Amino acid sequence: MKKLLFFAAVCSTVWFTSCKEEVNPDDSSNGYTIDTVGHFGYDFSAAKMDTSDWETNMNDGGMIGWHSGRGDNPNYPSYSSYVWFRNSEVDEVTYESQIKNYGDVDITSIRSINTNWDTIINPLIPGHVFGARCKDGYVLFEVVEVLDTLMWEAVLKFKYSATNNF
């Protein structure tokens, strides 16, 4: 009987420690939230992904598989194996994406988002930090992982603010 209980305990330990941890928007570290952002949009102030239409509700942007700016980046061709963040719906005048790429930097080193937005927008590359305008504020995010370049999903570590200061 003791051998059977020991075997069951070992199996339980292996089972629970080998399961892949799901990304949960409630997981936060130092005020940052980690969550999956997809094509249909995300509301950063509510930390909630939409599943129907990114242009509705309070969605602040979503993922796409083509370049979301006004010019093409020769290093990252559109419709290739990259994912871009698009938030053109927050600008109701020109409908241009309002995003700033800070590159591979420590996210905690950015205290204020520069609102001189990029015209040539880089794709989401793990480790890169971006600042973007939301419908009701600003978001600072770091790309943790690009999950799927066909379904356009990425895991972001982000912090929302009503102003461009963090």
pLDDT tens for residues 8-39? 444 444 333 333 344 445 455 678 999 999 98
Examine residue 9 and state whether it is found in any structural domain, yes or no.
Answer: no
| Burial class, 136, CB count within 10 angstroms (exposed 0-12 / middle 13-18 / buried 19+) | middle
Q: Does the residue 16 lie in any domain?
A: no
Asked whether residue 103 is domain-assigned, the answer is yes
For the ranges 7-11, 32-36, 140-144, 157-161, which has the lowest average pLDDT?
7-11
SS3 131: strand
- Is 115 part of a structural domain of the chain? yes
Asked, for residue 128, whether it belongs to a domain, the answer is yes
84, 64 in Cβ contact below 8 A?
A: yes
In a domain, 51, yes or no: yes
Domain that holds residue 55: 24-161
Q: What residues pair up with 131 in beta bridges, in sequence order?
A: 100, 140
Number of domains comprising the chain = 1
- First and final CA of the chain: distance in angstroms? 59
Task: Report if residue 19 sits inside a domain.
Answer: no
Let me know if residue 105 belongs to a domain: yes
How does DSSP classify residue 110? -
